[in-house]
Structure 1
């Protein structure tokens, strides 16, 4: 790819996920990231330091902004990697940039794409099952990637943008696939996050500890409630039953992340707000609307909310 043919990509809400993706894409695109001033300062001064399964290197070809007051090239593609509770605020702030463009969501939780669709012409949904962490200012680590990144058409007339995005990510050396049913893929990803992340975050344990028989009972109840909500909403995933997913969870996913702490653990430790409202909180709210009992999801969501508040007081 020649320099002139490289697309312009804007990554909004760049923390561990967004900075890591920006570092990878910098090899094949002109990348600008909107990030916190501490990251922007470090990257402008020393470059983005990357380590882990996506390669150990320092990337200097990234432009950083901390807000719209700074110069911003017209992007060919926007990728939002912010926490789900910030989606609306970011879309409002960058509404003029998003208008008429293709925007991809690479975020946890359910409901982000619906918000983005109010601002953008085309929306691409995305999932990533990868352990990202911020080591320091302008320094990220990609510890593991248990399955390919997935993108799929969510809404809008330009369905070809998915293929172009997938090819760009693949050419950057990242495992990626296109999905013909991104809604199913989003729910499949959320199953991992809502079943394991909150309980490990509450107990301050690594993901591998979720295999303890006492925790498996609680996790099993959370997953079974979620499948009842999915059935009521007409959502289908690769797993036709809760038991089939639980087998996959404990045989594949939990071992893959055995020594990792979930991102929600780091949020709680740092006194940050979590994405519980887009995970177990969402399931509990949908259960109430659909008249599906979800006491375990409601309980775990309330416990996380208490922990959030207690940590900030």
Structure 2
């Protein structure tokens, strides 16, 4: 079994490290990581185990090679660029997205007929180049045919992930699972980034009231989009978020916080920005999500040192 991991940052390198124990894996990552991994190995610590793993990686894929699966773990903002760069490898190959946000699978579907959706809510934090701490896990990894169904290809990949030691299950309603993760990210990720705090501090009544509005607006969008969520009402999800997901990740700083600290572009357009875009499509309001998007874009502009438009509809750019 041969698997390629494209756009391998903290998530992709950890997944590749685990998969390397049970199959042939090849990771495409930045040169500063490849040089270290090919020399002394990738260092993974935390709840997925403490070990140093060597697996083949570079800034591109070997010419003419074919893979049984391709996993994309890049930032959502890079999905199209990754697909364009590796489109010859994607054709006729099952491709799974293990990314944040809404819209990645639709982009990938332009390059392959077999799109698998993936949902992963696990904390990955850079320690240094080629070294990642796996800090928290709020739910099992879920994989299924996008937007719904289970196939031999998806079931086999679940089996491989499980054999590699990752807690993974099949999900027939993977679109709903991806939106479930988007609810979690939309509620916590940008507020952690804007305020510079860990997730656990967002349980304060003042920030929680903002989270309630974010989630209610997202549920209204899901209803219009025909997305089947695990929770029947916003209140039901908010109870799950408050009692389970928030405590499980209370010590975690969001990926947006880390992106802003590193002066990188965030994935806001694919998370709260997608809620705003789809709300506009259906003619329903999403004012709280829109404010959150604009605040994150303000912070991005500060990092750039120049003013750019606060456009919430750049997900396919």
1:120 paired residue among 105, 112, 121:
112
Deviation at 1:71, TM superposition (A): 4.7
Match of 2:44 in 1: 50
Task: Verify: 1:250 aligned to 2:242, yes or no.
Answer: yes
Match of 1:304 in 2: 296
1:40 paired residue among 25, 34, 37:
34
Distance in 1, matches of 2:243 and 2:92, equals 44
Distance in 2, matches of 1:286 and 1:202, equals 23
SS of 2:229's equivalent in the other structure is coil
Label 1:177 to 1:156 Cα distance change in 2 as closer, same or farther (>3 A): closer
Deviation at 1:138, TM superposition (A): 1.1
TM-score by length of 2: 0.94
Distance in 1, matches of 2:151 and 2:114, equals 8
Match of 1:133 in 2: 125
Q: How many residues align?
A: 305
Distance in 2, matches of 1:67 and 1:249, equals 39
TM-score by length of 1: 0.95
Residues 222-276 of structure 1: per-residue CA shift (max 9 Å, x gap) = 1111111111111121111111111111111111111110111000111111110
Distance in 2, matches of 1:200 and 1:133, equals 15
Task: Verify: 1:63 aligned to 2:56, yes or no.
Answer: yes
Deviation at 1:312, TM superposition (A): 2.1
Label 1:229 to 1:156 Cα distance change in 2 as closer, same or farther (>3 A): closer
Match of 2:5 in 1: 11
SS of 2:25's equivalent in the other structure is strand
Distance in 1, matches of 2:183 and 2:278, equals 15
Deviation at 1:157, TM superposition (A): 11
Match of 2:179 in 1: 187
**Structure 2 residue ranges without an equivalent (≥5):** 306-317
Match of 2:138 in 1: 146
SS of 2:146's equivalent in the other structure is strand
157-166 or 268-277: bigger deviation: 157-166
Match of 2:69 in 1: 77
Deviation at 1:158, TM superposition (A): 9.2
2:89 paired residue among 86, 97, 100:
97
Task: Verify: 1:235 aligned to 2:219, yes or no.
Answer: no
Distance in 2, matches of 1:73 and 1:100, equals 13
1:22 paired residue among 2, 16, 33:
16
2:274 paired residue among 282, 298, 301:
282
Match of 1:3 in 2: none
Deviation at 1:108, TM superposition (A): 0.5
Deviation at 1:95, TM superposition (A): 0.5
Aligned residues of 1:110 and 1:186 also touching (Cα < 8 A): yes
Deviation at 1:121, TM superposition (A): 2.6
Match of 2:315 in 1: none
Label 1:72 to 1:174 Cα distance change in 2 as closer, same or farther (>3 A): farther
Label 1:243 to 1:156 Cα distance change in 2 as closer, same or farther (>3 A): closer
11-20 or 233-242: bigger deviation: 233-242
Distance in 1, matches of 2:89 and 2:260, equals 32
Deviation at 1:67, TM superposition (A): 2.4
Q: CA RMSD in A?
A: 1.4
Distance in 2, matches of 1:16 and 1:208, equals 22
